[in-house]
Each structure stands twice: as C-alpha cells, then as structure tokens.
C-alpha cells in the first residue's frame, strides 16, 4: 500500500510515486478482492434490476401474483396489437396508461419525508418559489378590482421601498443573530431580500401616466411580509418553532387544497364533478401516506388509488366510440373521470419521479386557467376548469398526446427487447467483453466502467439505472485500483449518462423525436451515431491520461476473460442487436424492427439450447449427456411452451369467433386478459420445471421477461403522461410560440447591439485606416453566427435548469416545444423550407443537454446514484463527472455548426471524413482539457490542442489541415521532449483508496502490458 501524497484538488487519486498500481501482484489481498468483484460482475443477475429503485419488494403472494398479472396483461396487449394492428390512438394509449397507473400504486409506496438537514439550495428554492407564487397571486387576486389598488405617485412608493429595504439592511448590519440560523434559513432569507428588491423595482418602473400608478395593496403586503420573514430567518430563527416546518410540509398543501376546492365550489368556478373527485383524491392520498390500514400487507388506500387509476384509463378505453363522436362537447362525466386521471398522474409522478415534475405540471395547469391574469406576453384567453380538463384528458393533444403515444407503441416494444436481452445474458456478455478488451490497459477498471456503460446503454437507455446496475461492481473496483471515491463515481455516472445517446434505444426521447421531426428512426440513429462515438471516445481519452498522470495501471490478464473464447462461445448474442440495425437499415418501422429483434432473441436462445442439448458443463468441463437426460431436458423445455402456445391459440380463436361482433379494441382487451390467465395457469402447471441454466429462456423466463418489461416501462409511462400535461398546455396557450419569439428577440437584440459596437469601433478614428464601412458590424455578426450561438447558449441553460428535477423525456418534450423551434428558425435563415438536417440539429441539441443535466450540479441524479455506491460527496462527484464528460458539453455545438457530423446530406467520402475528423477532434479536445500527455502540458499547448481539435471537427478541408498541423506539432514536440528526458513524468497521487480498499502497486517491469499501455 502506498503513502505517496498528492496535491489537493488533483483528479482521481491513487498511489503513484513512480510505480503503477494494479498490474502487479505485490498485494495479494487487494488482487483477491478485485477478483471477487470481477466474479460478482460475471455472475450478477441483471434481471434483478428490472424494477426501479424504491419499489415494494416483499409482497405477499396474492399481491405478487396481482402485480404479475397486471404487468403481464400490459405486455401481452402490446405484443398482440403489434402483431395484428395498433388500436386507434385514444384506445391504445388509455389502456397503456390505465395499467401503468395501477402498477404504480401497487409497486411504489409513498416516499418518506426527509428528516436530514437541508442545504442552501433548498432554502433558495423554497424562498424563490414562495415569492413567485405570492407575486402571481397578487396579480390574480387583485385583477381589475379598483378597490384593491392605491393610486400613488411612483416616487412615493419608490421612497417607501427604499426606506424599507434600507431599514432592513441597516438592522441586519447592526445586529447579530440571536440563534445560529441553518444554511437553508440563511440562503432563504437572503433570497427573500433579493426578491423583494426585484419586486419593488418592477412596481416602481411599471407604466404610469404622469408619474402616478396603481399600486396593488396586496403587492405592498407581500413586500412587507417578505421583508419581515427575511429578517426573522436571518436574525431571529428561533421564532419559528421546531414543530412548525414539519407540520407545514405535512399538512400545508392539503389545507391549501381544501381551501381552494371550497372556494371553487362556492364561487361556481367548478362543479361537484370536479370538486368531489378532487377532494376524494386529496383525502385518499393523505390517508395512503399516514394511515396504517392494510389488506393482506398492502396499504388499503394504495389499492383504492390503483383501482381508480385502472378505472380512469379503462373508462376512456371502453367508451372510446362514444367519446370520439362527441369531441368538443363538454361532458360532465368525462370531466369527472378526467379530474381523477389528471390528479392520479400527478400523484404517480411524485411517487416515481419526484416532486419537480409535479410542481412544473401543476404550475402550467394554473397558468392555463389564469391566462387573463398573466403579465405581459404571457397573457392569454385562459380556460374554464371544465374546458381545461377536457383539453388535457379527452383530446389527443394533452395526456393522450404524442409522448404517451410513443410510449404505448415504440418504447414498450423496445423495453420487451431490452428485457429479453437481459434474460439471455447480453449484459453479462457486454461486461465480459469490456473486461477482456480494456481491463488490462492503463486505468483498466475505469475503462471497463466506460465500455460496460456504453454497451448497457444500448439496452436500458437510462442513466440512473445504468449507474446503479453497473456501478455496484465497477465503482468498488476503481476504488481498489487507487481512484478516489468521487472520481470512481464520476466515471460511472458520466459513462452511464452517455447510455441515453447510444443507439439503438437511446431512451424514450429518441422515439418522441420521430414525431417532432418527422424523421424515421433509422435517420435519427444515423444522426446520433458519430456524436455517440465522440462522447465515449472523449471520456476514454480523459480517463486514460488521468490514469497515466496518476500511475494507475491495468488488471492482470489472468483475472480477465479471454476475448477469443468469449466470442466463440457467446458471440451469437450479438445477433439480435445486429438484426435490429439490419431491419432498421432496410427501411422497416421501429415497431416491426423491435418485434423482429424480440423474435430473433427468443428464437436464437431456444435454438442454441436445442443444439447444445447433447452436452453439459460439469466442473468447468464439457461432457456428453446421457440420451435419457437429453430427452428429459428437451421435454422440460419444449412441453410447457407447446401447451401454452396451444392454449393461447384456442383462446384467440375462441374470442374471435364467439365475440365477432365486439369491436377490435374490446377483443384485444379480452384476448390480453385471457392470455395472461392462460400463461399464469401454464406456469402453475409446470412450476417444478421453472428452473433453467443461466441465461437460458424457458416459458417461465419468457413470461418473467414480459413482466420485467412492464416494470421497466412504468417510469416512462408516468413521465410521458406528465409531459403530455405540459405539452398540452404549451400548445393550447401558444406558450411555446411566445417563448420562442422571446428567445429570438433576445438574440436579435444582443446581436444588434454587438453589431453596432463593432461598427463604432471599426469606423473610429483609431481604426479608420481599415476602411471598414457602416455595415461592418452587421456582416461580422452574421458571419460569426452570433444569433445562432446565443440561441444555443440560452437553450442549453434552459435544458440544464429543467434537468434539475425532470427526467430526460419530460425535459426533451418541453425544450422541443420551447427552444428547438427558435433554433430551427435561426438555422433556416433566408431559406424557404426547413430541411431534415435543421430539425435534427435542433432537436438533438436540446436532447443531448437534457441528458447531460443528469451529471450537472447541483442536482445531478446520476452523480447522486454513483455517490451512494462510492461513499463520496455527490456534488464533487458531479463536478468530476462534468470534467470527464466535458467534451460532451462542446459536442452539440460542434454538430450544429458542422452538420456533417450527423451524416446528413453527405456522400461516402465526406461522411467518412466527417466521422474520422469528428472522433479525432473530440479526442483532442478531451486531451487538451486533461492537460497531460507524458507530462503536464503548458497552458498554450493545451489551448493549441483544443483549438486543433475544434478545427478538425469543422467541415472545411483548410481548417482540418490547420487543426491537424497544430495537433501534430504539439504532440510531436511533447513526444520528442519525453524521449530526451528518458520517460514520462507522473504527478504524485492524492487521497488514495478508501480505508479498507487497498491499492495494488505494480512490480515495475512485471506489470505486463497493462503498465506499458
């Protein structure tokens, strides 16, 4: 074990001091521990990760079978409609949502209140949210009622505001806190002071005639109350009893909800078809949280919520024909069912995805209703409660819109594909492939994390799921290699986040992109291919040179799988992935391709089982089975499948003949439920035959895979339904168009100011000799595409902010309707039509930054998940993850300014050049940001490498050559310098491994290839 120190703040951490770690055998204990980690990775049952974190795991038999039945019926329904024909949109999506909501309340318990001390970000968020709600409330409650205003000179209110703020500031300066305020209280107090100043400034500078204006009385009350609260938080925190905040958080929203519902009922804003269901849902939700009443181990009120979710969705499914014939008519029954459905979606989102999406969706619902009270350009005509519920629930522009439609078709079938790949050993194969390919090289354990996550991303398409699944094994190995906990977690978080941009699945957002852009799925995969490779290559480069900097070598080859043997014995597992790419490239739809890939996965697995029946493995050796044993094994495999298939055929034919007069939707419903029953009966009949060898499918494994697909899809169903609420409001209120125009206006204003400044400078006496004309600034700004750059920066900020609490799917839906149109407008410029390349550039840009929000502090979900495994600090893990993936933050700008990287409108030569220069350029940008080759590079060398990498990415041959010359010059000089000095220079490593995670020092030349890599 090493004790070499390292300068504080250097990345990674681990022993160096002239000797690489891991590749030798000087510490048998650490090597033995790493070997156990590798064995655990190779034997891990990835199907256990099918459910999301936080679900109920210890269910009683009746509820376990109930969940199994509902999940199986959902999967069978999607398989049946994919094989026959999908139902009309409202029917397909309502069944999908109904069973999804039912599963949510059976599987996801209410989240316990957090009891730990909150940090500054929490205080800022609460204070800002409270002020925002109060400010909007002032406008809504004051309205046009003149009695709610004071007619005052602006100077009077300005002086009053100045006195109040000055007095509060003087008091805070002259006094000390009587009690120590918490970090959250201090941050909240200062946020309130800043907010009061902004509100006062807004009121003072409002439009006024003759210096007089109407001051809302409630606005003055809000300013005084906020000031008093800020002073109390900062100087007298003890005035708030300890019990107050828990009571507010527990019952505050409930009390507010009851008051609002009572006001809506008394004022006639809403009838009992809205107030009654809303009040019932409110009471049931609170009882489910605080009541301990259970029925056979399941909270009874969660069962009620599950039943209501099934009712709300299935009502739309069963009454589809009547609903589509009464479009545009406000039906009180539909409004009642819609109220139940909307509220249950918000409750489900809170349980599955957290409060951020609930808050945003609720705020937009309020925005849709209070349209006429909104300030400035946000003002719109508003909607009545009944109209609002009808728009969101009954039409296909709200909840049952595009996001849920994609979830109910493409996404679910790909979830089945992912579940089948898990159960046939694909993730284990990818893990072994990553270990064999990269484990022996410099920084091998970190590279295994990158490659494994890249492979796993093709299956799951989820950053947090990848982090938890792979990080449980890769993070401990990295720590034992010598990396600090934060760095180890950051490697896994950054690479797992990249899984959402790795074809062929790419997360749910890629499927929604089909509808927004009109592109085929094949075109989206083609466009995403080079950026995905650039993403992971740049991370690989960062990790490689950080490992060289810290002297962290690779694992001994004898601990790693043999690649040749691996490909010979399990290479057939790549066939389904190849099949889906082949089907997509042949022009088949994503649904057909997904079904073909599922069939290929199952058929390939069964075929291999039958081919290998005559042999078995005993104690690591292959031996021939006895004929009787082989026959019994074949019978155990085939008979349950044959019986279940025959019974299913009888059920399908029976329903189609007996219920021939029934609509296609009702037939699909009945067939799905009966097939689920048949499958469960078959499982019961052959229970004693359910066990199978590792990664081998049988009837039980196939059905378990279908259930696993439904569990994988639950968060996506909830996210898409919630995103439908947001998208519905944005579309019906024209909010998207207004905000897009606002972004364009800001960009044009800044561009005009910059053009004017450049023109003034160019035509000044000092620069008059240049001969620049009056249009110099305009031409310069146009040539540099400043307007496009500004739009991209503002869109990036919006994506990262929304990503603080929203899942990628919801984030993409919002930014695709708000920011992407503005980007497309700037890209289109003077062209008459929008090309597919423009649409893909804009939508991939916002999608990528929505993905990167998962590792962007302060709320970086993937980094938090990784820190939970590594034991490191989540925020530091997030910053390390950003550093590791820093090239990914530049990459979206690269493909917007160089669209050849998306392989749009290119031939073979230009496409190949774009791919090669793009990947090399991304690697060089990453190398420049690391700042280490064989020794630390000077700042100007790093700058030259980064500039050279960016020039390589551009589409011009001239810039490519210039970039290549810069890179070759710097790297050549560094290599020559290293040769003259007799070898590379390593920086001493800090932190070292955690206590108990001993690093393995290499034995100099005995380190093998790993130390020389």
pLDDT for 308 equals 96
Q: Dump pLDDT digits (tens) for 384-427.
A: 899 999 999 998 888 998 889 988 988 898 889 888 888 888 87
pLDDT higher than threshold 50 for residue 994: no
pLDDT higher than threshold 90 for residue 73: yes
pLDDT for 100 equals 95
Q: In whole angstroms, give the CA distance from residue 974 to residue 971.
A: 5
Q: In whole angstroms, give the CA distance from residue 498 to residue 482.
A: 24
Give the Cβ contact number of residue 733 at 10 Å: 21
Instruction: Report residue 125 as tokens.
Output: 């968020």
Q: In whole angstroms, give the CA distance from residue 191 to residue 201.
A: 15
CA 6 remoteness from chain centre: 35
Helix axes 627-658, 699-732, angle to 10 degrees: 40
Distances in whole angstroms, Cα of residue 573 to Cα of each of 503, 598, 738: 17, 12, 50
Distances in whole angstroms, Cα of residue 97 to Cα of each of 64, 93, 548, 723: 20, 6, 51, 13
pLDDT for 344 equals 96
* Cβ neighbours of residue 650 closer than 8 Å, sequence gap 6 or more: none
Instruction: Report residue 649 as tokens.
Output: 């055929």
Instruction: Report residue 96 as tokens.
Output: 């999908």
Provide the β-strand partners of residue 615. Answer: 624
pLDDT higher than threshold 80 for residue 261: yes
Give the residue ranges of DSSP H helices in 217-319.
217-235, 244-267, 272-290, 300-318
User: Which pLDDT band holds residue 1 (cuts at 50, 70, 90)?
Assistant: very low
Q: In whole angstroms, give the CA distance from residue 811 to residue 809.
A: 5
Residue of 602, 607, 584, 464 whose CA lies nearest to 524: 584
Instruction: Report residue 54 as tokens.
Output: 């936080």
pLDDT higher than threshold 50 for residue 653: yes
pTM score, two decimals? Answer: 0.82
* Cβ neighbours of residue 995 closer than 8 Å, sequence gap 6 or more: none
Q: Is 971 helix (H, G, I), strand (E, B) or coil?
A: helix
CB 713 within 8 A of CB 407: yes
Which of 284-298, 376-390, 397-411 comes out lowest in average pLDDT? 376-390
User: Is 748 buried (19+), middle (13-18) or exposed (0-12) by CB count in 10 A?
Assistant: middle
Residue of 665, 819, 650 whose CA lies nearest to 744: 819
Distances in whole angstroms, Cα of residue 461 to Cα of each of 24, 88, 593, 813, 938: 36, 28, 17, 17, 39
Q: In whole angstroms, give the CA distance from residue 337 to residue 386.
A: 11
User: Which pLDDT band holds residue 1010 (cuts at 50, 70, 90)?
Assistant: very low
Output the CA torsion sign for 800, 801, 805, 811.
Answer: negative
Residue of 398, 300, 268 whose CA lies nearest to 342: 398
| β 298-299/621-624 pair status | unpaired
Q: Which helix (H) or strand (E) holds 151?
A: strand 149-153
CB 25 within 8 A of CB 1003: yes
Q: In whole angstroms, give the CA distance from residue 946 to residue 931.
A: 10
CB 405 within 8 A of CB 92: yes
Give the Cβ contact number of residue 977 at 10 Å: 13
Structure-token match 């097939």, residue found: 675
Distances in whole angstroms, Cα of residue 689 to Cα of each of 72, 701, 816: 20, 11, 50
Q: In whole angstroms, give the CA distance from residue 873 to residue 489.
A: 9
CB 447 within 8 A of CB 483: no
Which of 452-466, 492-506, 617-631 comes out lowest in average pLDDT? 452-466
Please tell me whether the peptide bond between 852 and the residue prior to it is cis, using omega within 30 degrees of 0: no
**Which carries the bigger pLDDT value, residue 970 or residue 144?**
970
Q: In whole angstroms, give the CA distance from residue 352 to residue 105.
A: 10
Q: Dump pLDDT digits (tens) for 550-574.
A: 888 887 888 788 888 888 888 888 8
Structure-token match 């849902």, residue found: 281
pLDDT for 318 equals 92
Distances in whole angstroms, Cα of residue 718 to Cα of each of 215, 218, 665, 688, 693: 43, 38, 23, 37, 35
Q: Is 396 helix (H, G, I), strand (E, B) or coil?
A: coil
Most confident by average pLDDT, 308-322, 409-423, 585-599: 308-322
DSSP 298: E
Instruction: Report residue 501 as tokens.
Output: 């941009």
Please tell me whether the peptide bond between 858 and the residue prior to it is cis, using omega within 30 degrees of 0: yes
Q: In whole angstroms, give the CA distance from residue 986 to residue 936.
A: 8
Provide the β-strand partners of residue 621. Answer: 618
**What are the backbone angles phi and psi of residue 520, rounded to the nearest 5°?**
-80, 160
Residue of 462, 427, 426, 431 whose CA lies nearest to 445: 431
Q: Dump pLDDT digits (tens) for 902-937.
A: 888 788 888 888 888 888 998 998 898 888 888 888
Structure-token match 């790093």, residue found: 942
Provide the β-strand partners of residue 936. Answer: 932
For the residues 258-278, what does the mean pLDDT come to?
87
For the residues 353-368, what does the mean pLDDT come to?
86
pLDDT for 74 equals 95
| β 615-618/298-299 pair status | unpaired
Output the CA torsion sign for 245, 250, 255, 261.
Answer: positive
**Which carries the bigger pLDDT value, residue 69 or residue 25?**
69
Burial 890-924 (b: 16+ CB within 10 A, else e): bbbbbbbbbbbbbbbebeeeebeebbebbbbbbbb
Most confident by average pLDDT, 206-210, 335-339, 696-700, 784-788: 335-339
First vs last C-alpha separation in the chain: 22
pLDDT higher than threshold 60 for residue 99: yes
Q: Which helix (H) or strand (E) holds 121?
A: helix 120-142
pLDDT for 990 equals 36
Structure-token match 């009120």, residue found: 301
The pLDDT mean for the chain works out to 81
Q: Is 621 helix (H, G, I), strand (E, B) or coil?
A: strand
**What are the backbone angles phi and psi of residue 306, rounded to the nearest 5°?**
-65, -40
Q: Dump pLDDT digits (tens) for 528-539.
A: 888 888 888 999
* Cβ neighbours of residue 514 closer than 8 Å, sequence gap 6 or more: 406, 410, 520, 521, 524, 590
């Amino acid at each position: 074990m090493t004790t070499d120190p390292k300068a504080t703040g250097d990345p990674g951490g681990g022993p160096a001091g002239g000797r690489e770690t891991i590749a030798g055998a000087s510490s048998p204990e650490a090597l033995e521990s790493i070997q156990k980690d590798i064995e655990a990775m190779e034997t891990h049952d990835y199907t256990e990760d099918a459910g999301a974190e936080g679900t109920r795991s210890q269910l009683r038999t009746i509820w376990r079978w109930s969940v199994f039945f509902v999940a199986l019926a959902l999967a069978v329904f999607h398989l049946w409609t994919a094989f026959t024909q999908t139902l009309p949109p409202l029917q397909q999506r309502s069944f999908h949502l109904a069973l999804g909501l039912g599963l949510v309340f059976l599987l996801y318990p209410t989240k316990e209140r957090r009891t730990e001390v909150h940090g500054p970000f929490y205080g800022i968020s609460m204070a800002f949210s409270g002020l925002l709600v109060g400010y909007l409330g002032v406008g809504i409650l004051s309205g046009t009622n003149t009695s709610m205003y004071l007619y005052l000179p602006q100077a009077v209110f300005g002086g009053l505001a100045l006195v109040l703020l000055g007095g509060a500031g003087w008091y805070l300066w002259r006094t000390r806190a009587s009690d120590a305020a918490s970090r959250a209280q201090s941050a909240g107090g200062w946020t309130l002071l800043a907010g009061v100043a902004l509100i006062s400034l807004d009121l003072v500078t409002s439009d006024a005639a003759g210096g007089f204006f109407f001051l809302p009385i409630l606005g003055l009350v809000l300013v005084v109350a906020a000031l008093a609260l800020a002073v109390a938080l900062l100087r007298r925190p003890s005035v708030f009893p300890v019990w107050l905040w828990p009571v507010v958080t527990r019952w505050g929203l409930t009390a507010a909800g009851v008051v609002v519902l009572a006001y809506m009922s008394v004022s006639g804003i809403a009838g009992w078809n809205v107030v009654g269901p809303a009040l019932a849902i409110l009471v049931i939700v609170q009882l489910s949280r605080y009541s301990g009443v259970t029925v056979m181990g399941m909270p009874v009120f969660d069962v009620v919520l599950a039943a209501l979710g099934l009712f709300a969705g299935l009502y739309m499914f069963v009454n589809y024909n009547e609903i589509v014939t009464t479009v545009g008519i406000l039906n009180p029954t539909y409004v009642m069912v819609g109220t139940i459905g909307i509220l249950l979606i918000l409750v489900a989102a809170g349980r599955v995805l957290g409060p951020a999406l609930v808050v945003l969706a609720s705020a937009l619902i309020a925005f849709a209703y209070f349209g006429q009270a909104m300030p400035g350009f946000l003002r719109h005509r508003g909607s009545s409660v009944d109209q609002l519920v009808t728009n969101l629930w009954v039409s296909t522009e709200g909840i049952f819109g595009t996001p849920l439609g994609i979830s109910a078709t493409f996404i679910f079938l790909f979830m089945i594909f992912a579940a089948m790949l898990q159960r046939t050993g694909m993730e284990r194969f990818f893990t072994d492939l990553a270990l064999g390919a990269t484990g022996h090289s410099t920084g091998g354990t970190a590279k295994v994390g990158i490659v494994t996550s890249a492979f796993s991303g093709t299956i799951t398409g989820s950053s947090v799921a990848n982090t938890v699944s792979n990080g449980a094994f890769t993070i401990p190995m990295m720590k034992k290699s010598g990396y600090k906990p934060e760095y180890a977690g950051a490697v896994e978080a950054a690479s797992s986040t990249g899984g959402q941009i790795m074809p062929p699945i790419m997360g749910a957002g890629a499927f929604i992109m089909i509808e927004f852009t009109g592109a085929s799925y094949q075109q989206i995969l083609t466009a995403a291919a080079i950026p995905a490779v650039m993403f992971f290559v740049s991370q690989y480069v960062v990790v490689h040179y950080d490992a060289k900097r810290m002297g962290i070598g690779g694992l001994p080859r004898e601990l790693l799988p043999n690649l040749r043997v691996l490909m010979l014995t399990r290479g057939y597992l790549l066939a389904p992935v190849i099949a889906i790419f082949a089907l997509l490239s042949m022009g088949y739809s994503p649904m057909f391709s997904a079904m073909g890939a599922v069939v290929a996965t199952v058929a390939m697995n069964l075929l291999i089982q039958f081919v290998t029946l005559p042999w078995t493995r005993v104690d690591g050796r292959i031996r021939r089975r006895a004929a009787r044993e082989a026959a019994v094994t074949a019978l155990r495999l085939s008979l349950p499948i044959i019986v279940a298939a025959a019974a299913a055929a009888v059920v399908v034919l029976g329903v189609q003949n007996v219920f021939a007069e029934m609509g296609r939707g009702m037939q699909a419903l009945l067939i799905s439920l009966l097939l689920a029953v048949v499958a469960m009966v078959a499982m019961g009949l052959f229970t004693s035959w359910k066990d199978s060898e590792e990664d081998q499918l049988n009837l039980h494994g196939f059905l378990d895979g279908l259930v696993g697909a439904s569990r994988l899809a639950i968060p996506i169903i909830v996210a898409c339904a919630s995103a439908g609420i947001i998208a519905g409001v944005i579309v019906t209120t024209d909010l998207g168009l207004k905000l897009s125009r606002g972004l364009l206006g800001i960009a044009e204003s800044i561009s005009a100011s910059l053009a004017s400044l450049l023109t003034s400078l160019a035509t000044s006496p000092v620069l008059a000799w240049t001969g620049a004309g009056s249009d110099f600034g305009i031409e310069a700004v146009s040539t540099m595409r400043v307007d496009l750059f500004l739009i991209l920066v503002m869109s990036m900020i919006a994506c990262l902010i929304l990503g603080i609490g929203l899942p990628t799917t919801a984030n993409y839906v919002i930014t695709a309707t708000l920011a992407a149109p503005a980007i497309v407008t700037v890209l289109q410029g003077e062209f008459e039509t929008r090309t597919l390349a423009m649409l893909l550039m804009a939508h991939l840009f916002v999608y990528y930054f929505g993905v990167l929000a998962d590792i962007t502090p302060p709320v970086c979900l993937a980094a938090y998940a990784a820190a939970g495994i590594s034991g490191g600090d989540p925020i530091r893990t997030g910053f390390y993850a950003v550093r590791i993936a820093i090239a990914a933050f530049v990459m979206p700008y690269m493909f917007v300014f160089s669209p050849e990287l998306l392989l749009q409108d290119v031939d073979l030569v230009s496409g190949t050049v774009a791919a090669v220069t793009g990947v090399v350029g991304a690697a060089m940008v990453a190398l420049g940001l690391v700042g280490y080759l064989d020794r630390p590079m000077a700042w100007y060398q790093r700058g030259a490498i980064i500039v050279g990498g960016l020039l390589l990415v551009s589409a011009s041959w001239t810039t490519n050559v210039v970039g290549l010359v810069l890179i070759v010059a710097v790297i050549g000089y560094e290599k020559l310098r290293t040769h003259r000095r007799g070898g590379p220079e390593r920086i001493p490593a800090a932190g070292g491994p955690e206590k108990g995670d001993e690093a393995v020092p290499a034995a100099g030349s005995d380190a093998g290839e790993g130390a020389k890599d």
